[in-house]
Structure 1
Amino acid sequence: MSVDATMQSSIPAVSPTTEGTQRERVPVRIFDNPAQLAREVARRIAELIRERQAEGRTVVLGLPTGSTPIGVYQELIRMHREEGLDFSNVITFNLDEYYPMQPDSLQSYHRFMRENLFDHINIPPENIHIPRGDIPPEEVEAHCQAYEEEIRKAGGLDLVLLGIGRSGHIGFNEPGSGPETRTRLVVLDEITRKDAASDFFGEENVPRHAITMGIGTILEALEIILMATGEHKAPIVRRAVEEPPDRQVPASFLQTHPNATFYLDRAAASELTREKTPWLVREVVWDKPMAKRAIIWLSEKLGKAILKLEAADFYRNHLHSLVHAYPDVDALCLEIFEDLRQRIVYSHQLFKHQRVIVFSPHPDDDVISMGGMLDKLVANQNEVIVAYMTNGSVAVFDADVRRYLRFVELSHDILGLEGEALERFRARQQEILDFFARKKPGEVDLEVIQKLKAHIRYAEAVAGIEVVGLTAEHARFLDMPFYKTGTVRKDPIGEADIRIVLDLLEEIHPHHIFVAGDLSDPHGTHRMCYTAIQQALQRYHRAHPREEWPLVWLYRGAWQEWEVHQADVFLPMSKADLDRKIEAIFKHESQKDRAMFPGAYDDREFWQRARDRNRGTAETLNRLGLPEFYAAEAFVTCYEMP
């Protein structure tokens, strides 16, 4: 099979449903994407504010921090500016704060709330309450009791918004916390500290304690909304929703509340029974995508190749209706097998002599996630441009800058640095070293250091693509503005970001573009880059007839891989192909051995993740009875990004 413009995404559109929820112990609402979720939560908050205003009463909100609620806060700000939503009757109590923590620190939740909400709405300052992280230890207990008293004086919490940690925590109520807990000082769980490591530029800089509103306090609210997005939240969401209340999963205690609801995007809901294996809990429409999912599931569950499945296997595993929906189960298995087999695309079947843009959110995602494909695209004599969307500077250790400065110092005579030029270099070098000597954990680097760190990433990126036969001329460093904050938290995607992507599309007029569909990176850069490309592509589509639209290839790999039933294309890789891909990843030396932001839920290095995921995809195909390969990369294709 050759890959051409007729290929469409195989991800089925699943309509919202309340069927099949019998295993869910708390109400769950599922949204197609985080933006829809954020808008609906903001709508509910605005509705409550207006109801209370009409009654001449205040509304008391419990508010979280982190990446998940930012979309809600942005929508509330929009509603305030464009629709006149009035916050003068709103009283807020934040869930938590690190301890110790100065309120103006980069990582402070006081600062987070000001920057992401409070500075942009008309809430009275005296109505804002956030636990203090800057008080002496001997005053903490009294402060916590006073916080509880302030909530009572305000009339109690009307609505609490929550996120959920990978450990199942809500607020900073770590595993072991129960429904009797109140506002208090807690010791942070190891997983929580790993999750926070990127914000603090290293786990060693994350405070070991925090002040948090207790589960008992939260459960006294009139209404609770827990929000979760991304595949990495799916396992703990399933436990919190489908398993009995358990102190090891504090969020599970929301099951005991009469008005608590989980708001999930489809990725965070993906492990729920009604999403993962809906045929176990409800009647389904057995179209080919659903039949494909079920047959792959059954094959893997039984450890039998697809073509070895028999009718009895279906009957014994709750798939009676599938057997009855098709007159010949053997023929159905053969059809699904052939569907998968035809998605295996060898290098000689890939397109040739076409224009290609590979969008890489960070300066190493290209080789980590699709190094094998990149190698084949070059070998097929395509015109390839690799567009590195962000400079990746925040992920470079200070030690790397010191190392390169030392190299220049030792090599100054060879490099021709003499006289005034050498003196200027040494002065700048000393300025940088002096800053490092007094630098506090998480402090924003000097602009010159940010640029040096960006250049380290750029040089590594060029070295990486040189392994597959490209040169510096094939690299574009877009340096998108949203990323250039000097911190892990980024600005929202703006017009300038979209324009940069659109200008490149208009310059190249690509036949194919490759985009990271791997949206669960811990600090959200992949998701934001995806949004910028999506919006730029929509404008590009409006300016060009459909026959000129590029085919979009969505890749994954750094954080998770496409499941077999989702993928449109499998690219087989030999051992030599995989070794060459790993060699390209190794060129990113600043991310080797100990990356700044490896993610909290995977201890492997990026090259190990790529190797294991590519080998794992090939092994899965082999177990299904398909041709056996050493490794394989998977892709989803579409013309309009979902």
Structure 2
Amino acid sequence: MASGSTAARDQSQARALDVSGGPVRVAGTPFVHAGVTGTARERIPTVIIDEHGAMARAVAGRIATLIRERASAARPLVLGLATGSTPIGVYRELIRLHREDGVSFRHVITFNLDEYYPMRRDSIHSYHRFMWENLFSHVDIDPAHVHIPDGSLPRADVEAACAAYEQRIADVGGIDFQLLGIGKTGHIGFNEPGSGEQSHTRLVHLDSITRRDAAADFFGEENVPREAITMGIATIMGAREIAILATGEHKAGIVRRAVEGEIDRAVAATFLQRHPNTTFYVDDSAAADLTRVATPWLLDEVHWGDALMLRAVTWLAAKCGKAILKLTQQDYADNHLTSLVARHGSPGAVNGLVFNMLGAKIRGKSKLPRGLRTICFSPHPDDDVISMGGILRKFVENGNDMTVAYMTSGNIAVFDHDVRRYLDFLVRLDAERIGGGSSVRALADTVHAFLDRKQPGEVDIAEVQDIKRIIRESEAVSGIEVMGLSKAHARFLNLPFYQTGKVRKDPIGPADVAIVAQLLREIQPDLIFVAGDLSDPHGTHRMCKEAIDRAVAEVYTGAQAAARPEIWLYRGAWQEWPVTEATVLVPLSQEELTLKIQAIFKHQSQKDSAPFPGQDEREFWQRVEQRNKTTARQLDQLGLAEYFAMEAYVIA
């Protein structure tokens, strides 16, 4: 069982949730979030649990409760299971419950949602392999009780196999608890836009967005299968209880659409609104667009703290297309914000307060720290210049003692053709200048032989991984040299969790934390920069932050607590902090933005066509230019000073 402190923490983080017994709120009943009480617009009960470990414990705890209840009644529990990164935490918690609390899976029967087609069972991409590696091999489940669609069947046999899959579900009495994730198109399983509510297990064509999302796992969209076998909407809706999980900012829009929008075949998850016992579990980032979070004043009376006032007034200014200081009483009245004016006496008073709050966030070089020992933790070997190249240069100019700590090698994000190009250079250099040593030629022969037979997504041999790591490290040094730093300012931590050679990484472990803790003890920083971007499609940013958080907690305890460094969070290549959330807004001149882009250019292996671009096909420098200019433009539209570009940070 969870310790008292863990249970208390989970209960505080699970809003409207009984961790041991599952969700207790049903649609239409009052909720409490961020000091707001009202009636939800949410058509699916939605629980916000920001700490991912707590979310995993909540859902796994519900499954464990059902397992025990069924075991006491001498009946098996039938689980519907999902794959992907989101449910991995749940599976790890179930493994822990099995090992430490004796939860037995001997009488559990499972049915997986889907599988790519065609797909061999032993492929590193197969969901069959995924489930055995991430759950089944670690618990006492009977292999005969495991059911996963077979992607290796001849096409002529698929239809009959799908019908048999449905029949097996019916034979065991249906699914008791179905675990789901949600795709960016709102798909559940592989029920893509256009899927019918009466659909059952079948072979489907994958949507282009779904295939693009999977491209990282397959090392290129061209390697992603175009079809899959999936349970249908009717199959999923037949489950007695459903839990659907979503994490990260990139899921916020589709979560709101699924929870608050009309039922629509174009968004399969909206059909869950008709299910009598479905609960959405989301973190704060995935919940960001829900009305109760984004604009709670539209629902009911709110408590007007400074943070909520800032959000409301900037929202109103954008909605009305006005500068903050030009907002009128009528603007507030037309948008359910008269209580805010009443609190402060007049629109002018509110406008002035918010205008000054935003202005106080802006810090040019003269207002930034000087003479501090500083560590910039960069998850990949380019996040430093992509995300905070502007402030990095200003910190250097202000005489701060800078260390840039690259937490992972980033070697999976290097194309094989770059390896061949660098090898060709080495062979030529060796032959023409060094003396034609056999070791270089032998290395080249080994690498070329492997690359010639390599299958898409296959894990690289050690030699190739090392070459790709060195490519990224040399680019990183070149990038910070543009900022006025040198090789001596770079540390390559090469954390063990990343060293799988695959997109999916190991959990953060004691060895990762120890490496970060050792650096903190050595440098004794006054300030550290940490990637707070949770939309990283491969989760590396999130995991690196976990390693830093655990290391900080370990190092700065007891007598050392007073030496804890100030922590500034930056965002990665996918999003920027909103001006309302940012603590510090750092303006950049045209020359400074150009310098930042030049540093990004040094990462040549990521230029032109990055291996993992996410959903945005633009190059990283293009995203940075647009993002930094947009942040500055937002302040200009709100009536503040007009800057060329701007970076945003949150002081944790």
Runs of at least 5 residues in structure 1 that lack an aligned partner in the other structure: 1-12
- Aligned residue pairs total 622
CA distance in 2, matches of 1:415, 1:23: 72
Q: Percent identity?
A: 58
| 2:620 is equivalent to residue 602 of structure 1 | no
What letter corresponds to residue 633 of structure 1 in structure 2?
Answer: E
Measured after TM superposition, the shift of residue 316 of structure 1 is 1.0
What letter corresponds to residue 453 of structure 1 in structure 2?
Answer: K
Measured after TM superposition, the shift of residue 208 of structure 1 is 0.6
SS in structure 1 of the partner of residue 190 of structure 2: coil
Measured after TM superposition, the shift of residue 544 of structure 1 is 4.3
| 2:505 is equivalent to residue 487 of structure 1 | no
SS in structure 2 of the partner of residue 566 of structure 1: coil
SS in structure 1 of the partner of residue 480 of structure 2: helix
Tell me the alpha carbon deviations over residues 398-428 of structure 1, each in whole angstroms, 9 at most, x when there is no partner: 000000011112222454143xxx2221122
SS in structure 2 of the partner of residue 437 of structure 1: helix
CA distance in 2, matches of 1:182, 1:395: 38
Structure 1 residue aligned with 2:475: 460
Structure 1 residue aligned with 2:545: 530
RMSD: 1.3
Measured after TM superposition, the shift of residue 249 of structure 1 is 0.2
Cα 1:544–1:363 change in 2 (3 A) is farther
CA distance in 1, matches of 2:197, 2:435: 67
SS in structure 2 of the partner of residue 506 of structure 1: helix
Measured after TM superposition, the shift of residue 23 of structure 1 is 1.9
Measured after TM superposition, the shift of residue 348 of structure 1 is 1.5
Structure 2 residue aligned with 1:496: 511
Say whether the 8 Å CA contact 2:628–2:646 is kept in structure 1: yes
Measured after TM superposition, the shift of residue 547 of structure 1 is 3.1
Structure 2 residue aligned with 1:297: 315
SS in structure 2 of the partner of residue 92 of structure 1: strand
Tell me the alpha carbon deviations over residues 371-393 of structure 1, each in whole angstroms, 9 at most, x when there is no partner: 00111111111110000000001
CA distance in 2, matches of 1:327, 1:491: 55
Say whether the 8 Å CA contact 1:557–1:609 is kept in structure 2: no
Structure 2 residue aligned with 1:224: 242
Tell me the alpha carbon deviations over residues 245-282 of structure 1, each in whole angstroms, 9 at most, x when there is no partner: 10100000000111111111111011111110010012
SS in structure 2 of the partner of residue 633 of structure 1: strand
Say whether the 8 Å CA contact 2:374–2:528 is kept in structure 1: yes
SS in structure 1 of the partner of residue 280 of structure 2: strand
Structure 2 residue aligned with 1:9: none
Cα 1:303–1:116 change in 2 (3 A) is same
Measured after TM superposition, the shift of residue 164 of structure 1 is 0.3
CA distance in 1, matches of 2:38, 2:449: 62
CA distance in 2, matches of 1:169, 1:441: 26
- Among 446, 453, 474, the alignment partner of 1:431 is 446
CA distance in 1, matches of 2:223, 2:272: 32
Say whether the 8 Å CA contact 2:91–2:134 is kept in structure 1: yes
Measured after TM superposition, the shift of residue 14 of structure 1 is 12
Matches within 5 A, 1:39-50: 39-50=57-68
Structure 2 residue aligned with 1:637: 651
CA distance in 1, matches of 2:597, 2:379: 19
CA distance in 2, matches of 1:52, 1:212: 27
Say whether the 8 Å CA contact 2:588–2:645 is kept in structure 1: yes
Tell me the alpha carbon deviations over residues 308-336 of structure 1, each in whole angstroms, 9 at most, x when there is no partner: 11222100111122122222331222111
SS in structure 1 of the partner of residue 250 of structure 2: helix
Say whether the 8 Å CA contact 1:171–1:213 is kept in structure 2: yes
Tell me the alpha carbon deviations over residues 419-458 of structure 1, each in whole angstroms, 9 at most, x when there is no partner: xxx2221122011111111111111111010000000000
SS in structure 2 of the partner of residue 519 of structure 1: coil
Matches within 5 A, 1:236-635: 236-418=254-436, 422-599=437-614, 601-635=615-649
Say whether the 8 Å CA contact 1:557–1:613 is kept in structure 2: no
Say whether the 8 Å CA contact 1:180–1:216 is kept in structure 2: yes
CA distance in 2, matches of 1:415, 1:87: 64
- Among 154, 172, 175, the alignment partner of 2:172 is 154
Tell me the alpha carbon deviations over residues 475-514 of structure 1, each in whole angstroms, 9 at most, x when there is no partner: 0000000000000010000000000000000000000000
Measured after TM superposition, the shift of residue 603 of structure 1 is 1.8
Measured after TM superposition, the shift of residue 543 of structure 1 is 4.8
SS in structure 1 of the partner of residue 361 of structure 2: coil
CA distance in 1, matches of 2:78, 2:301: 42
Q: Which moved more, 1:308-317 or 1:52-61?
A: 308-317
- Among 203, 208, 212, the alignment partner of 1:185 is 203
Cα 1:487–1:21 change in 2 (3 A) is farther
What letter corresponds to residue 613 of structure 1 in structure 2?
Answer: R
Say whether the 8 Å CA contact 2:14–2:49 is kept in structure 1: no
Cα 1:415–1:277 change in 2 (3 A) is farther
SS in structure 2 of the partner of residue 381 of structure 1: coil
TM-score, structure 2 as length reference: 0.94
CA distance in 1, matches of 2:564, 2:442: 52
What letter corresponds to residue 319 of structure 1 in structure 2?
Answer: L
SS in structure 2 of the partner of residue 426 of structure 1: helix
CA distance in 2, matches of 1:160, 1:14: 20
Structure 1 residue aligned with 2:9: none
Q: Which moved more, 1:567-576 or 1:553-562?
A: 553-562
Say whether the 8 Å CA contact 2:14–2:54 is kept in structure 1: no
CA distance in 1, matches of 2:319, 2:435: 66
Say whether the 8 Å CA contact 2:536–2:572 is kept in structure 1: no
CA distance in 1, matches of 2:640, 2:509: 45
Measured after TM superposition, the shift of residue 20 of structure 1 is 3.8
CA distance in 2, matches of 1:413, 1:223: 67
SS in structure 2 of the partner of residue 342 of structure 1: helix
CA distance in 1, matches of 2:39, 2:222: 42
SS in structure 2 of the partner of residue 627 of structure 1: coil
Say whether the 8 Å CA contact 1:310–1:329 is kept in structure 2: yes
CA distance in 2, matches of 1:377, 1:298: 35
CA distance in 1, matches of 2:386, 2:509: 27
Q: Which moved more, 1:514-523 or 1:26-35?
A: 26-35
